[in-house]
Structure 1
Amino acid sequence: MTFTKESALVKIWYGAVLSGQYTIDQVPKLANLKDVVTELVNGITA
C-alpha cells in the first residue's frame, strides 16, 4: 500500500495536523503515510 497526496487518509491526517489536533509525531507509521503528511506540512511551512 502506498499513499499519495490525493489519498483520503493523507488528507484526513494533514487536516488534523494543520488544525493542531495532532502533531506529526502522532501520525501512524502506516506504509508511507507519515512521510507524505510530513511533506505536505513542510511544503506549507517552508
Structure 2
Amino acid sequence: MFNANSMLVRVWFGAVLAGTYKYSQVPNLSNLRDEVGKKLIEIGYDIENEQPAA
C-alpha cells in the first residue's frame, strides 16, 4: 500500500530523524513501518537500537 515516496512514509521518516518519535512509535499500519524502516536503514539508522547513523 505505501511506498518510499508516500507522504505518510516521508512524514514519519522525518519525525524519526528529527527525534520527535522513535522508530518503535511508527504505527504498524499496513506496510508503513516497513517502508519507514527501509528508508532509515538506507541512511544508516539502527532501527533495532533506535540509534542514528554514527
Check whether TM > 0.5: yes
- What is the TM-score of this pair, normalised by structure 2? 0.80
Q: Where does structure 1 lack aligned partners over 5 or more consecutive residues?
A: none
How far is the alpha carbon of 1:45 from its aligned partner?
A: 0.7
Larger % of helix: which?
1
Greater relative CO (CA pairs within 8 A, separation 6+): 1
Runs of 4+ with >4 A deviation: none
Q: Which structure has the larger Rg over C-alpha atoms?
A: 2
Q: Where does structure 2 lack aligned partners over 5 or more consecutive residues?
A: 46-54
- Computed over aligned residues only, the root mean square deviation of the Cα atoms, in angstroms, reads 1.0
